[in-house]
Amino acid sequence: MTRPWHRRQEIPDSQVRDTADQFESARELLWAQPPESGLLYPLMNTATVAIELYLKCLSAEKVYADAGRAKATVSARPSISSHALGKLLDNIDNGLQQELDDTFRDQLSSFACLSFRDALSRCEGAFQESHYPFEPNCDILKCPLGLLMACSHFLQQFVAKLLTKENIQC
């Protein structure tokens, strides 16, 4: 008896990573614009989505589904459905979380006093603040822009190095 679907993990998940890379590329384009260009909210939103997707690619599962007549679909499913950066980090393997933290502290000396979890905590809410800036109690200033940009770029580099390690081991 064949199963109609099954799951398997591939860390980082290539489908989720590809989407994250696209948002990171868009973030880089927005970041290159002059400060008075009026693109602060899209910049923050794009960076936050890139961070979210990079975290999800570190815990997602591949889903193989039988589509009938010798066809199948392969998709990715994040292990949790959330925009909360801390919750997404919690869903990543503990060893990989430690590697993220160690690498973050080593590579981002300007933020060395922060753990990676603390950095994400300070960026928490940037999605809502940049997505709904017109709502009451919105305070875009509580999300440090430099740290948000650094976390997005850091995760892109970290995931890319994971792939390089994986290819060397094969």
Structure tokens at 80: 């949790």
Centre a 10 Å sphere on the Cβ of residue 52 and count the other Cβ atoms it contains: 23
Q: What is the pLDDT of residue 31?
A: 97
CB 93 within 8 A of CB 59: yes
> Can you list the pairs that 122-128 forms with residues at least 24 positions away whose Cβ atoms lie under 8 Å?
122/147, 123/48, 123/51, 123/85, 123/147, 123/148, 123/151, 124/84, 124/85, 124/86, 126/44, 126/45, 126/47, 126/48, 127/45, 127/48, 127/49, 127/52, 127/83, 128/83
Q: What is the pLDDT of residue 21?
A: 97
Task: Using 50 as the pLDDT threshold, list the residues of the chain that sit under it.
Answer: 1-6, 170
Number of Cα atoms under 13 Å in the Cβ half of residue 94:
0
Q: What is the pLDDT of residue 109?
A: 77
Give backbone dihedrals phi and psi of 161, rounded to 5 degrees, phi first. -70, -35
3-state secondary structure of 4: coil
Q: What is the pLDDT of residue 98?
A: 96
- The C-alpha atoms of residue 48 and residue 64 are separated, in whole angstroms, by 29
